[in-house]
Amino acid sequence: MNLKYTLAALLIASSASTAMAATVATQKFTVTVPANISIVAPANVSLTHDETETDQVFPAQQWVVRGNTLAGVNVSISTGSAFQHTFDANSKRDAKVDLAVNSSTGPAAWTVTQATDTTDYTLGDGVATVQVSSDGVGRADLDVTVSFITNGFGTFASGDYETTLTGTIASN
């Protein structure tokens, strides 16, 4: 082989190997998701007593709870008092609260830890509390049912009786 061609071949091979050397670069993308827990109550509701001995049961109300904390959340929903007449604070009737998980989304499992509770105003217990908890990230639609305990129609004053539910959510 000719020296001229050999040198030319070595030059091409040498420049080809340096031209084919690769470099690597990387870029990382990060999204920070803030911790967020929330509870949303439905609008106020009312009903008219049917004038029987039957407890007056409101339609189930859907409370929405969300929590994106890895350990999950605890939710508590309580009455502030038994049903109380809006003009006569001495006229009261007990309230019963029931809780069920209607539906949920996300990986969390939801567990009702207190499904029902009733006030007992004659013993000074105006608080009825129901509770649910989750073990991870998720959303739940809770059915909360409130009952006005009649216990002797005609033995309590006419008029409006009210109680207010308060929902509290906290990270586990």
State pLDDT tens for residues 32-56: 999 999 999 999 999 999 999 999 9
Comparison of pLDDT for 5 and 123, the residue scoring more: 123
Q: How confident is the model at residue 20 (pLDDT cuts 50, 70, 90)?
A: confident
Report the C-alpha gap between 105 and 137 in whole angstroms: 9
- H-type helices in 20-157, by residue range? none
Tokens of 118: 């009733």
Taking every pair of Cα atoms in the chain, the longest distance, rounded to a whole number of angstroms, is: 123
Report the C-alpha gap between 69 and 172 in whole angstroms: 8
For domain 35-171, give its CATH number from 2.60.40, 2.40.160, 1.10.3470, 2.60.120: 2.60.40
Q: Is the pLDDT of residue 140 over 70?
A: yes
- Per domain, the residue ranges of the chain are 35-171
pLDDT of residue 21: 82
Q: Identify the residue whose tokens are 């969390």.
A: 108
Q: Write down the pTM of the prediction.
A: 0.84
Tokens of 122: 């004659």
Asked whether the beta carbons of 116 and 97 are under 8 A apart, the reply is: yes
To the nearest 10°, the Cα dihedral for 121, 124, 127, 129?
A: -100
Strand partners, 36: none
